[in-house]
Structure 1
Amino acid sequence: MHMLPTEHGEAPILQGLWESVRAGQEEILLSPYLPASYAFLTHVLLCAPFLALDALGSVCQRVRSWRVSAGSGPPPPLRRWLDCFWRVLYRYLTTVLPATALLHGLRGPARLPLLAPSCPQLFVEVFACLLLFDTLFFIWHVTMHRFPRLYRSTHQQHHLHRVTFALAAQDSSAAELLSLLLLALSSAWVVGCHPLSEAFFHMVNSWLAVEDHCGYDLPWALHRLLPCLGGAPCHQAHHTLHSVNYAPYFTHWDLLFGTYRAPVRTSCPA
């Protein structure tokens, strides 16, 4: 495969991947329907391991012992997953997909760069997007909780899940789903991401949201490896108490504003 050189005369490590993605796919990559479709499909696929865990949890005590709310009963049944899936799909098809396609069209034509980002560039851009999205979501989340009318019309649907599961990360009103996708797209736009960095950001963003809502305090979860993340135990505390742990991923804003509540962690078997 032909590698395009950078301005320093070396091809980025990710150039081959980027050329494979671009090859004959520019129409798809520039499609106004891509952002919403990618968000929905990525979310559903990343939920699959937790669907398997929930199925195992109905027969395996060890899996149930990993649950954040170990005393809340068995994991959600398949029927609850299916009901949630159809609700989310309906809101994407009727609101999120047409709205984001319209906004994409208003931005005008775009062109894909020939060069892939370097690995350090990709890491910095993805991390910057996560920090910015975390900040914007914290502000929006607090606002939704502080104004009762806004809470009832936009955010209350999401809080019907007192005990969360992975797919429920996007079981929200159509207005909230659209607002969260716009916050993510705006974060990438403000940072000025390379399209490959943006795709990685949206994937990591989806994984963190799924992990936050999965209902499991797994030994290998990211919040156990990175102490700056709140993870599922912190977010479960938000769904239980409503007035704490507003930030989606990182803990610094809640610590700064006094809304952080340390969760009672489960004891994970070795």
Structure 2
Amino acid sequence: MNSTSVLSHRTTSSELYASSGVEFSQLSWLEANWAAWYLWIGDPVIATGLMSFLLHEIVYFGRCLPWIIIDATPYFRKWKLQPNKIPTAKEQWECTKLVLYSHFTIELPQIWFFHPIATACGMKTWQVPFPNWQTAALQVALFFVFEDAFHFFAHRALHYGPLYKHIHKVHHKYSAPFGLAAEYAHPAEVFILGMGTIGGPLLYCLAGYELHMITVLVWVTLKLFQAVDAHSGYDFPWSLNRILPFWSGADHHDFHHMAFVNNFSTSFRWLDHWFGTDDKYLAYKKRLAAVAEKDRAALEKRLLEEAEKEGILAADEAEKKRLF
């Protein structure tokens, strides 16, 4: 075989498994089907890209579906953070169209090129068996921490001057967010913040640590759940932030959309606390807690209206600022 044909040849999944010495009889059901997928598709790059994109779409819209039903069910209004702002079917459809546009024009290319970049960084993709669950759980926890920090600083930057006016303002269209709006954003923002999601795994591999694609897919699945739930607009007694006080949840992020200021983190609350970017949010919660329960609904309505008015003014001021 001449040098030209060697360079043009892409190794197939069959060749990869044949050379790896995998003992298929020792694999779990999931591991065997993982290998079967790569063998069926034939090309590992296509197999990873197709699987990842399908998973993203199924998880994102699958997680949004319960919130669409909840928004259409009056019974759940008692837990709605802004009960007078229920998204209409038209609003949800308009939101879905932009989300799909971003998915196919921005996220699909990112996902498709993830395999060659990931393998170049040393990540395992088609290989079996998988790492143990303890290792995967620790890695996912690290990715949550990294992404939260990345998002915090990138999000704050997007609130300044031209970056807000020309990019982040799109995401702030809804002062009362809903599940589908989690990825309703300018394509540039989708790309920028998406780097926080994939950046953690890539840097982890570049640091010389072993990582498998299955762990990345688990991480992305949980991250999508977090993003959709944070934009749901509902705070239930069983919400995760009621169990883990450092978890942000919808209660934390809904205030950001309503008041424009404060609460820039995604998953956790500690960076907002350390940098003092939760002062207005904490003052709002403190005022609510100080009144009797019978008077709370009226006070909450008034505070929500005040916060939204202040948010509109703050957004206008942000647009006027120069970036440098």
TM-score band, normalised by shorter chain: 0.7 to 0.9
Q: Which residue of 2 aligns with 1:137?
A: 151
* Counterpart pick for 1:24 among 29, 33, 37: 37
Matched, 1:65 2:71: no
Q: Percent identity?
A: 24
How many angstroms does 1:83 deviate by? 1.5
How many angstroms does 1:103 deviate by? 6.0
Gap runs ≥5 in structure 2: 1-23, 206-210, 294-324
* Counterpart pick for 1:82 among 69, 93, 101: 93
CA separation in 2, counterparts of 1:107 and 1:234?
Answer: 33
Q: TM-score, normalised by structure 1?
A: 0.83
Q: Alpha carbons of 1:37 and 1:175: their partners in 2 closer, same or farther (altered >3 Å)?
A: farther
CA separation in 2, counterparts of 1:19 and 1:2?
Answer: 9
CA separation in 1, counterparts of 2:258 and 2:128?
Answer: 48
User: What whole-Å deviation, never above 9, does each CA across 1:104-127 have from its counterpart, x for those lacking one?
Assistant: 556667752222111111110111
Matched, 1:93 2:107: no
The answer to which structure has the higher helix fraction is: 2
Q: Secondary structure at the match of 1:164?
A: coil
State whether residues 92 and 174 of structure 1, in contact with CA within 8 Å, keep that contact through their aligned partners in structure 2.
no
User: What whole-Å deviation, never above 9, does each CA across 1:53-75 have from its counterpart, x for those lacking one?
Assistant: 11113xx3xx10010113x24x2
Q: Alpha carbons of 1:194 and 1:102: their partners in 2 closer, same or farther (altered >3 Å)?
A: closer
Gap runs ≥5 in structure 1: 5-14
Q: Which residue of 2 aligns with 1:231?
A: 249
Q: Secondary structure at the match of 2:25?
A: coil
Q: Which residue of 2 aligns with 1:222?
A: 240
Q: Which residue of 2 aligns with 1:11?
A: none
Q: Which residue of 2 aligns with 1:199?
A: 217
CA separation in 2, counterparts of 1:21 and 1:206?
Answer: 22
Amino acid at match of 1:196: I
Compare relative contact order (CA 8 Å, sep 6+) and give the higher one, 1 or 2. 1
CA separation in 1, counterparts of 2:45 and 2:147?
Answer: 23
Q: Which residue of 2 aligns with 1:157?
A: 170
RMSD: 2.5
CA separation in 2, counterparts of 1:227 and 1:239?
Answer: 20
